[in-house]
């Protein structure tokens, strides 16, 4: 009897140890939401998505499970957005395609953020940009939850750029840009010669000399994906790389208010943390570039003002697809100093 009692106590102790080691054990979830991402498993964005998964599970006592699918496992961001509209994918942290509504390029407009103080103001969850992007997405059946800021944008090249701070000087390089007017126009305004190609072809395009580099992407992506073909990095901070935490509006509207609150709070926490991580990430990856042999060019915010102002001169040209009404509203609320 004493032996059996000791054995029972020992078994209980082992069970307690296991629970403490692996965390809380919940019943099967009542709600399972597919959570699509476009970044690799070891990317900081994916890590924040994992934190959201854990926060939602904890606050819902396991009733809600966000099932994570990073690295485009459920398709690229265009396909994922279509599935969000249909409700067949419930959540994502991805880019927003503009073919459904050209005004969605609003999130990518260049020249209105020039440093991380601007980023914190512009991408606030109670700011104009969030409200407007939520409105535009809602019109298509998608609920915006928050922004993931990866880092400030610059330019990577295989050769030195002519007078990099003077937008009136031809930079003497052909650079790949995303196939969006916001990037093509800004690139030209800063003195570059832009061409568009799929991101997947950019490495080979630089390697074979089709282009001399790329802009419209942050330093972390430059290092992790293009470091073998780049010789120079110009940290010009004329925009910020931004993904979006989103949910199918069909799914969101069917959730209980308390469950909406849990998911929204998790997105708010991840969005705020992404800005602080982005600033540190920029510095870390620039140092890694230097260590790798890439020449890194950095500047003060004052030195970069002419480039930002050159980007801002393109805002009027965006009215053709994004409407004058929207761009007037953008200028009123988002121009530097507002």
Residue 4, pLDDT > 50, answer no
CATH label of the domain that carries residue 150: 3.40.190.170
Q: How confident is the model at residue 337 (pLDDT cuts 50, 70, 90)?
A: low
pLDDT at 178: 86
SS3 (DSSP) at 206: helix
Residue 303, domain extent: 26-334
Q: Above pLDDT 70, what percent of the chain? A: 92
How many other C-beta atoms are found inside a 10 Å radius of the C-beta of residue 53? Answer: 18
Whether 16 maps to a domain, the answer reads: no
Q: What is the pLDDT of residues 46-82, one digit of tens each?
A: 999 999 999 999 999 999 999 999 999 999 899 999 9
Q: Is residue 11 part of a domain?
A: no
How many Å apart are CA 333 and CA 310, to the nearest integer? 19
3 in a structural domain: no
Q: How many domains does the chain have?
A: 1
Confidence band, pLDDT 50/70/90 cuts, at residue 40 = confident
- What's the pLDDT score for residue 14? 47
Q: Is residue 14 part of a domain?
A: no
* Segment 138-164, tens digit of pLDDT: 999 999 999 999 999 999 999 999 999
Quickly state the pLDDT bin for 104 (edges 50, 70, 90). Answer: very high
Q: What is the pTM of this model?
A: 0.85
Residue 18 counted as domain residue: no
In a domain, 144, yes or no: yes
| Residue 20 maps to a domain | no
Given a cut of 60, is residue 17 above it in pLDDT? Answer: no
Whether the pLDDT of residue 249 is over 90: the answer is yes
Whether the predicted pLDDT of 9 surpasses 70: no
Whole-Å CA distances, 289 to 107, 234, 235, 321, 323? 28, 11, 12, 37, 40
Return the H-helix or E-strand segment holding 246. Answer: strand 240-248
Residue 115, domain member (yes or no): yes
Q: Quote the pLDDT of residue 26.
A: 72
Mean pLDDT estimate for the chain? 91
Average pLDDT over residues 100-104: 94
């Amino acid at each position: 009897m004493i032996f059996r009692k000791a054995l029972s106590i020992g078994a209980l102790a082992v069970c307690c140890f296991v629970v403490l080691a692996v965390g809380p054990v919940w019943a099967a979830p009542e709600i399972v939401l597919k959570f699509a991402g476009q970044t690799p498993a070891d990317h900081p964005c994916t890590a924040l998505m994992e934190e959201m998964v854990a926060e939602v599970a904890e606050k819902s006592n396991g009733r809600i499970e966000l099932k994570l699918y990073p690295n485009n496992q459920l398709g690229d961001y265009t396909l994922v957005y279509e599935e969000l509209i249909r409700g067949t994918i419930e959540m994502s942290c991805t880019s927003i395609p503009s073919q459904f509504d050209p005004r969605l390029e609003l999130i990518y407009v260049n020249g209105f953020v020039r440093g991380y103080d601007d980023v914190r103001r512009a991408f606030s969850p109670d700011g104009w940009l969030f409200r407007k992007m939520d409105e535009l997405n809602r019109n298509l059946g998608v609920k915006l939850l928050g922004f993931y800021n990866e880092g400030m944008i610059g330019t990577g090249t295989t050769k030195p750029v002519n007078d990099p701070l003077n937008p009136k000087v031809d930079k003497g390089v052909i650079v790949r840009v995303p196939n969006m007017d916001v990037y093509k126009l800004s690139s030209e305004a800063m003195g570059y010669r832009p061409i568009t190609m799929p991101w997947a072809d950019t490495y080979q395009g630089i390697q074979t000399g089709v282009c001399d580099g790329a802009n419209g992407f942050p330093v972390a992506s430059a290092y992790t994906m293009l470091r073998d073909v780049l010789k120079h990095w110009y940290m010009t901070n004329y925009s910020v790389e931004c993904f979006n935490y989103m949910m199918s509006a069909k799914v969101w509207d069917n959730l209980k208010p308390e469950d909406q609150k849990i998911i929204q709070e998790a997105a708010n926490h991840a969005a705020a943390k992404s800005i602080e991580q982005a600033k540190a990430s920029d510095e870390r990856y620039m140092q890694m570039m230097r260590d790798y042999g890439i020449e890194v060019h950095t500047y003060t915010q004052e030195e970069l003002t002419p480039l930002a102002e050159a980007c801002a001169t393109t805002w009027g040209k965006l009215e053709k697809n994004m409407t004058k009404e929207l761009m007037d509203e953008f200028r009123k609320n988002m121009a530097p100093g507002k």
